[in-house]
């Protein structure tokens, strides 16, 4: 079996993330990781909070606490939410760790040794009111490309174009709001991406053919436009410091590395954190340094992160002239919007992950988000769509199936799985259909096509309902008790199968379904085609209980309250 290294975009430290952040990186990475583990692969899923850079400093300043304390508090708050969503990271680290500092500085030294870093005098924006040079994110203004009036000096979050602070129209300080800005000379380090462009292009040619179009098109767009040398240091108090043994003058000035230089390195740093905290863990270098051909590295991220992970970080790795593992597959996502517009913390518009868990169990959100993942284009969240999906797919199709099968069987046959006669034509047909749908589900999961995988999973659940309606054990029992018992035993085996294969999507509900059966030695991690056809994993006589309602329906009153609270379209 392959060894799968999986990373998702690092959530930034300055606040709780909205549902779009969840579906664009961490959640699909978790679903895929869970699936691969079930199939017997060796999986390492790494993530971390991205803690350096301007927004962290600004958020800490606004909160009135030291930036170190702010980041520690926010890391714990975010981790608690991800635990609530049952994201099964192997390790969730921090980019402010000693390990990341060590490896980031090592990368910089190697790039310097190999001639890919250059110290340059540049003219940089200086705020007279703040008496300091302003890093690019400390400058806000109007994007010259799309007209967005809150663009940052490094990137416009509206059109995703990469910017320099001097590109902005009507720039102002993000600290004081002052427009009293001057351009003065200072020194910074530049990564000579122009010298690495050919190597990056050759690597993408060799690797990127199998990437989704969204990821490959963004990477190639950057290559077509030309890779420019990029400043990788900033004037900040918080970040990975420039090492004094290599650049003493810049270190004395307090320069730190640009957050987009050290953040991707944190995937490696967090893996070292994982290994350092538990000596039983496999040597971290076997995943990242001279990793053998069995290691397959998959990254999950939204489209705005793609350029940095497909061009800038690979250039950094290539420039070290060391055998660092580079990504094999980039799963990129479009935006999840809220009623066609952006989520907004300031306007209290949209659903953020902490509020989502306050309202409803994680499985409601996990299923809906993956079933509607923005894979091919931007998608839009609406409470009407969410309600319809939860009520139809989860409550009616799956939850109702589980409840009525187990409740009816207990009422008529007691607290053990009934025997009945041997399987007949209807059961053989159901088994063949189940095996076919399971193979379809597996195929979509292997291809990282999450919406299609969700549709195949939903079809598996629907097959059980169709079988139950066809056999109608509530009528069958009046004239053929043995036949009704067979129908219910078969349906209970479907429930167990659903518990196993639904686990990547709805882990808590899957566990509840599985726990309904007191099945001794139930160690199944997946269901083979033969087992799907036979539907006999739960034998007659197995004790069972009826679990609480798996999925409560969302009412019209609930819908109205949610829209009013979170700023629905016509709220």
Is 47 annotated among the ligand-binding residues? no
Is 345 annotated among the ligand-binding residues? yes
d(CA 226, CA 177): 34
Buried b (16+ CB within 10 A) or exposed e, 512-522: bbbebbebeee
- 287 neighbors 44 (Cβ within 8 angstroms): yes
Backbone angles phi, psi at 46, to 5 degrees: -115, 135
3-state helix, strand, coil in the chain (%, to 5): 50, 15, 30
Closest CA to 145 of 127, 135, 158: 158
Q: Exposed/middle/buried for 76, CB within 10 Å: 0-12, 13-18, 19+?
A: exposed
- 420 neighbors 484 (Cβ within 8 angstroms): yes
Closest CA to 461 of 402, 506, 509: 402
Closest CA to 446 of 295, 331, 309: 331
H or E, element range at 335: none
Tokens of 169: 């129209």
Closest CA to 464 of 488, 480, 500, 439: 488
Is 71 annotated among the ligand-binding residues? no
Q: Length of the chain in residues, anyone? A: 571
SS3 510: helix
SS3 92: strand
d(CA 481, CA 570): 53
Q: Exposed/middle/buried for 82, CB within 10 Å: 0-12, 13-18, 19+?
A: buried
Closest CA to 349 of 361, 358, 359, 339: 339
SS3 175: coil
Closest CA to 17 of 93, 88, 68, 85: 85
Tokens of 251: 């270190």
- 545 neighbors 415 (Cβ within 8 angstroms): yes
Distant-in-sequence, close-in-space partners of 453: CB < 8 Å, separation ≥ 6: 370, 441, 444, 445
d(CA 448, CA 301): 13
- 473 neighbors 398 (Cβ within 8 angstroms): no
Distant-in-sequence, close-in-space partners of 35: CB < 8 Å, separation ≥ 6: 445, 504
CB atoms within 10 A of CB 435: 19
Residues making up the annotated binding site for Zn(2+) are 143, 146, 156, 159
Residues making up the annotated binding site for ATP are 345
Residues making up the annotated binding site are 143, 146, 156, 159, 345
């Amino acid at each position: 079996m392959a060894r799968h290294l999986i990373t998702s975009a690092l959530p930034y430290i300055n606040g709780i993330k909205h549902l779009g952040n969840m579906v664009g990186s961490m959640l699909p990475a978790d679903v895929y990781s869970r699936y691969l583990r079930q199939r017997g692969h060796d999986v390492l899923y790494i993530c971390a909070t991205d803690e350096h850079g301007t927004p962290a400093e600004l958020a800490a300043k606004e909160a009135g606490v030291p930036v170190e304390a702010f980041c520690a508090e926010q890391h714990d708050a975010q981790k608690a939410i991800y635990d609530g969503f049952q994201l099964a990271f192997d390790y969730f680290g921090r980019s402010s760790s000693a390990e990341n500092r060590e490896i980031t500085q090592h990368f910089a030294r190697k790039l310097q040794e190999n001639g890919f870093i250059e110290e340059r005098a540049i003219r940089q924006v200086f705020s007279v009111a703040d008496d300091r040079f302003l890093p690019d994110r400390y400058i806000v203004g109007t994007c010259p490309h799309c007209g967005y009036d809150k663009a940052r000096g490094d990137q416009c979050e509206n059109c995703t174009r990469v910017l320099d602070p001097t590109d902005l129209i009507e720039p102002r300080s993000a600290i004081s709001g002052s427009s009293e800005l001057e351009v003065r000379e200072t020194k910074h380090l530049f990564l000579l991406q122009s010298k690495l462009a050919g190597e990056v292009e050759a690597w993408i040619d060799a690797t990127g053919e199998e990437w989704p179009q969204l990821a490959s098109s963004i990477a190639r767009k950057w290559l077509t436009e030309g890779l420019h040398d990029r400043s990788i240091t900033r004037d900040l108090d918080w970040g990975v410091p420039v090492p004094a043994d290599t650049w003493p003058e810049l270190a004395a000035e307090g320069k730190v590395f640009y957050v987009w230089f050290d953040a991707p390195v944190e995937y490696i740093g967090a893996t070292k954190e994982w290994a350092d905290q538990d000596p039983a863990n496999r040597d971290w270098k076997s995943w990242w340094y001279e990793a053998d051909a069995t290691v397959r590295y998959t990254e999950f991220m939204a489209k705005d992160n793609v350029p940095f992970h497909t061009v800038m970080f690979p250039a950094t790795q290539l420039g070290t002239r060391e055998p660092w593992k580079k990504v094999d597959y980039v799963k990129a996502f479009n935006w999840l919007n809220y009623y066609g517009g952006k989520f907004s913390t300031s306007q209290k518009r949209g659903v953020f992950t902490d509020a989502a868990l306050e309202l409803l169990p994680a499985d409601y959100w996990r299923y809906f988000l993956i079933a509607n993942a923005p894979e091919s284009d931007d998608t839009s969240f609406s409470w009407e769509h969410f309600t319809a999906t939860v009520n139809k797919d989860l409550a009616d199709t799956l939850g109702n199936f589980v409840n009525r099968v187990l409740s009816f069987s207990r009422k008529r046959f007691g607290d053990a799985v009934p025997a009945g006669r041997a399987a007949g034509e209807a059961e053989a047909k159901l088994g063949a259909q189940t095996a076919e749908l399971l193979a379809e589900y597996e195929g979509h999961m292997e291809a990282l096509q999450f919406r299609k995988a969700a549709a195949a999973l939903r079809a598996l659940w629907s097959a059980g309902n169709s079988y139950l309606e066809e056999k109608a054990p509530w009528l069958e029992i009046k004239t053929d008790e043995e036949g009704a018992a067979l129908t219910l035993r078969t349906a209970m085996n479907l429930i167990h199968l659903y518990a196993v294969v639904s686990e990547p999507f709805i882990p808590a509900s899957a566990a509840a379904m599985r726990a309904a059966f007191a099945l001794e030695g139930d160690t199944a991690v997946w269901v083979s085609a033969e087992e799907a056809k036979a539907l006999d994993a739960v034998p007659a006589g197995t004790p069972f209980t009826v679990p609480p309602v798996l999925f409560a329906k969302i009412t019209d009153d609930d819908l109205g309250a949610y829209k009013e609270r979170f700023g629905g379209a016509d709220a």
